[in-house]
Chain A
Amino acid sequence: MAYKIIAADCTGCGSCEFECPNRAIRMKGDIYVINPDKCTECQGKFDSPQCVAACPNDAVVHA
């Protein structure tokens, strides 16, 4: 159960990091990565995964 960020589509803006309720997203080099162990897909907290909804480049997909 996790989401991932497509490296080629990530602009490194950090919108996802701000919104993640689980602190599962961290910058690695020029882009962001999701720690699958911490990702809960926002279940029980929000209607939709926050990183998916916030990403301006639609770079977050189901792992």
Chain B
Amino acid sequence: MEQKVVSLDSISPAPGRRAPSACSTGGCGTPPSGGTTDVPAHIRQKIESHPCYSEEAHHFFARIHVAVAPACNIQCNYCNRKYDCANESRPGVVSERLTPEQAVRKVKAVAAAMPNLSVVGIAGPGDALADYRHTFATFRLLRETLPDLTLCLSTNGLALPDHIDDIRGAGIDHVTVTMNAVDPHVAEGIYAWIFWDHARRTGLEAARILIERQLQGIEMLTAAGILVKINSVMIPGVNDGHLDAVNAAVKERGAFLHNVMPLISDPAHGTHYGLTGQRGPTAVELKALQDRLGDGARLMKHCRQCRADAVGLLGEDQGAKFGLEQLPENPEIDPEKRAAYRAIVEKERNDRRQEAAEARAAIRRWAPPEPILVAVSSKGGGRVNQHFGHAREFQIFEVSTAGARFSGHRRVDRYCSGGDGEDDVLEATLLALDGISAVLTAKIGRCPRQRLSEAGITVVDDYAFDYVETAIARWLSARGIEEEDTARIA
């Protein structure tokens, strides 16, 4: 019957397969990678249904960004909001701007259609605090209409110190500050100008003001008990060697989470970096930096760099289904559906935690001495439950004698320019899987299987619908036992 109450397409196991019984406390064993049990309880409660703040939550909960704030007060060299391409996925891009009233209507429609919606954020497409009138008008309406949603905003930080009371007053628990440098000499190369105190300012002066305001704002937020996430864009040759310093500076001021994102740069986007040939980092460079920063659950690795009008689970944008034209006049939200979904998620999470804890011993025993990277095709719920050919991204796990640790995702679709044929797509996929030892997938066709094998990548499709950790453990132990048998016979 539950199937009729809410769609469990993304999290349910294969039909007919019984999930193991739930762990009654949820506190047993070790959480899966990115789990949240290593943070204090009062913070855990704030993040456990926020897909951006908890890697675990992003398998279950969806967010919506409402594009009510088009005005901005700085010009970043990686941003250009003049163009909108429906196929593009990058921050700052939106298809439709909304008034606060339209935004509330859209959020209601999405909440009615998606019982897993837990967060509403304002992330532009300009700057949420430069355009604070629209931002706070929207948050006020949302608070009145949909009090069970978590409110969240994202800013460049320039106007942040002026709005701490507004943020607290609106009941906003989570604020993201994009901070790419703490040294003005580095920042100078990232921002063309800022508009502050009634004047456009450039160069070192602009960089100094921006950094000072950002750091001051972060301190004020943490003092007010608001969770702070820092987004940093990794720009090779500009700030890649400097992000350790940013990490240290923001942690010192109480930031909860640091998210290092790769620069998205393409001449077609018309950005300064795109037009001047500044490249983004490779997946390998990004991972090397993330490894250097360390930090476990306090370093966000599951970011999908979503649009300022994104809707749905991270990495699975459904914004196109919720254009203003398509919205029902007065959407009906069924609170029972939402409660039912949360109850199911609670059970799934406990199941997953328990299975992951059980899998861990096997992974430790059978993992190769040198860490390997494994790519998983999944449509959510922390399971290997997606057909290889349907995957638009792979979740990457680092498997070592310490266990299986989530280390990021790799996209296989290309921005704004799909492949011309299946061969093209497969080529692009193979490139995206550079350095991967094995692919775990629910199902795969004959041709891609062969191409992956030729590229030296092991294809594993025997553990469809298992939790990722369980699938890795079962694959490693089957492989290990087979190797031992071979060795014995020889």
Contact = CB atoms under 8 A, between A and B. Distances in A.
A32 to B, nearest CB: 11
Given A11-B81, A13-B70, A15-B126, A47 B75 contact: no
A11 B72 CA distance: 12
A53 B201 CA distance: 9
A31 to B, nearest CB: 12
A25 to B, nearest CB: 12
Contact of B71 (A13, A48, A50, A53): A13
Interface in A43-63: 46-48, 50, 53-54, 56-57
Could you tell me the dominant secondary structure of chain A's interface residues? Answer: loop
A47 B73 contact: no
B42 interface: no
A13 B126 contact: yes
B162 to A, nearest CB: 13
B200 interface: yes
B131 A11 contact: no
B62 interface: no
By size class, the interface of chain A is: 10 to 19
Contacts of B133: 18
Contacts of B81: 11, 13, 56
Contact of B200 (A11, A48, A57): A48
Nearest to A52: B200
B203 to A, nearest CB: 15
A14 to B, nearest CB: 5
Nearest to B71: A15
Q: SS class of chain B's interface: helix, strand, loop or mixed?
A: loop
B199 A47 contact: yes
A18 B71 contact: yes
A56 to B, nearest CB: 6
B199 A46 contact: yes
B199 A11 contact: no
B17 interface: no
Interface residues on B, range: 10 to 19
Contacts of B97: 12
A23 to B, nearest CB: 14
Given A15-B126, A18-B131, A56 B75 contact: yes
B195 interface: yes
B131 to A, nearest CB: 7
Interface string B63-94: 00000001111010000011000000000000
Given A13-B126, A18-B131, A57-B82, A46 B71 contact: no
A46 B75 CA distance: 21
A11 B198 contact: no
Contact of A14 (B71, B75, B198, B200): B71
A53 B72 contact: no
A54 B82 CA distance: 15
Interface in A1-48: 11-15, 18-19, 46-48
B70 A53 contact: no
Contacts of A47: 198-199
Contacts of B73: 15, 54
A14 B199 contact: no
B130 interface: yes
A14 B73 CA distance: 11
Interface in B119-144: 126, 130-131, 133
Contacts of B72: 13, 15, 56
Contacts of B75: 56
Nearest to B84: A11
Interface of A: 11-15, 18-19, 46-48, 50, 53-54, 56-57
22 contacts: A11-B82, A12-B70, A12-B97, A13-B70, A13-B81, A14-B71, A14-B131, A15-B72, A18-B71, A18-B131, A18-B133, A48-B200, A50-B198, A53-B195, A53-B198, A53-B200, A54-B73, A54-B200, A56-B72, A56-B81, A56-B126, A57-B82
The 5 closest A-B pairs by CB, nearest first: A53-B200, A13-B70, A15-B71, A14-B71, A54-B195
Given A15-B195, A18-B133, 11 more contacts: A11-B70, A11-B82, A13-B70, A13-B126, A14-B70, A14-B71, A15-B71, A18-B131, A48-B199, A54-B195, A56-B72
